[in-house]
Amino acid sequence: MTFDVAEAGSGDHLALCLHGFPELNYAWRYQMLLLARMGYRVWAPNQRGYGGSSRPGGVQDYTVDKLVADVAALFDASKAARLTLIGHDWGGFVAWIFAINRVRPVERLVVMNNPHPACLREALRRWPQRRRSWYIVAMQIPWLPEWWLCRRDGVAIRRLFRGMAVDKSRFSDALLDIYAAAACERGAVRAMVNWYRAAVRWTNWMRLPNDCRCTARRL
């Protein structure tokens, strides 16, 4: 695996920023500069299947354990002594699992737009949350999600960003062009959808340790 990583700052305390769906590491462009000014060395990778990073072809290549192993490999490659892990959406989920399983020592954990996996697991046992998570079921259908997301020059990708935004003016046409173009590159959208497919087909992530508290400091 190779990863396309945006970098800022220097030092032995790595802030590793994990993006969500259907984003890129570009989503962290403002936070990276702020974190660097705070003294962190900042890495924001395009995660597995996204942007210029490796894009394996099979659903089995996107299981949660592989996504977590990617984070460990990135931290090891950085040679940093300390780790602050920051995740949004899918990146937040990967960050939770990484910290809960203590794959590497995490000094600080920041998760946005993703609940603790134990809370998610409990919620998914009930129909109200299952109804809200209908899109995860839709992602299991062969070919259709890929077609829908990238039809008409990625109009669905664009709508995903603006549709959920509190301030829609933050998402200019030029910005959405970047995300839509990246998602609709050959094989990219299938890789992105495969995250959802793998999470349903391989559910090891649901078997959390008895003590699934995070020992990292919270911000």
Residue 92 has a CB neighbour count (10 Å cut-off) of 22
pLDDT band at 213 (very low <50, low <70, confident <90, very high): low
pLDDT band at 210 (very low <50, low <70, confident <90, very high): low
pLDDT at residue 214 greater than cutoff 70: no
- Nearest by Cα to 46 from 79, 15, 21: 21
pLDDT band at 215 (very low <50, low <70, confident <90, very high): low
Residue 145 has a CB neighbour count (10 Å cut-off) of 20
Contact at 8 Å (CB) between 22 and 167? no
Q: What pTM, to 2 d.p., does this model score?
A: 0.93
Domains of the chain by start residue, with CATH: 5-210 (3.40.50.1820)
What is the pLDDT, as a whole number, of residue 167? Answer: 94
Structure confidence by residue, pLDDT tens digits, 83-116? 999 999 999 999 999 999 999 999 999 999 999 9
The CA distance from 23 to 3, in Å, is 15
H or E, element range at 17: strand 13-18
CA distances from 200 to 31, 65, 87, 93 (A): 32, 13, 21, 14
The CA distance from 66 to 153, in Å, is 30
pLDDT at residue 140 greater than cutoff 80: yes
pLDDT at residue 217 greater than cutoff 80: no
Contact at 8 Å (CB) between 75 and 46? no
Amino acid at 177: D
